[in-house]
Amino acid sequence: MSDDFLSQVFELFFSKPSLSNSFQVNYSNLKSSIWIYFDKKIAEYSGTI
C-alpha cells in the first residue's frame, strides 16, 4: 500500500464523521473476530502437544 492511498483513505474518513464511526465499529468487530480465531487456533495447537 502506498502512502498516497493511505492519505486518501484518511482524508475520506476524517472528512466524513459518520463514515469514520462506522469504520471504527467495523474495525473493532474485525479485531474481535481475529482474536477469537487465534484463541481457537492456540487452543487446537495446545491440545495437540
Tens of pLDDT, residue by residue over 12-38, are 766 666 666 777 777 888 888 889 999
Task: Give yes or no for residue 45 having a pLDDT over 80.
Answer: yes
Residue 2 counted as domain residue: no
* Domain range for 39: 22-49
Residue 15 counted as domain residue: no
From the CB of residue 12, how many other CB atoms can be counted at a distance below 10 Å? 12
- 13: which residues sit within 8 A by CB, 6+ positions away? 19, 20, 23
- The number of distinct structural domains making up the chain is 1
- The grid cell for 33 is 473476530
Residue 17 counted as domain residue: no
Residue 3 counted as domain residue: no
User: What pLDDT score was predicted for residue 38?
Assistant: 92
Max CA separation in the chain (angstroms): 51
Residue 42 counted as domain residue: yes
Task: Give yes or no for residue 43 having a pLDDT over 70.
Answer: yes
